[in-house]
Structure 1
């Protein structure tokens, strides 16, 4: 199996300034677990995943 056989072709993205809440809403709305993060020039500067959100949430609770 190759990556192109299982990938999503419509790429959703978030901005650096988007809230974590809006990111989680996109995860749920689109049934995805990760998104590229773009800057004001629409350049990819990172990736945010459900795992990132969960880890940070638990760190905040400790």
Structure 2
């Protein structure tokens, strides 16, 4: 269904999104989309929750 899309099509969609939402709303939209994906991943696959990265206090430099 989407096999005929090219780079030009993606640029056109990106331009339309930029015009509709504006440059100031896009970072907020991207952040909320990322948080939504993160929540959905943890709900759909709870056994594969990401391991938190060690902090500097837990892993001191040599």
Normalising by structure 1, we get a TM-score of: 0.23
Tell which structure's C-alpha radius of gyration is larger: 2
Larger RCO (CA within 8 A; separation ≥ 6): 1
Q: Which has the higher strand share?
A: 1
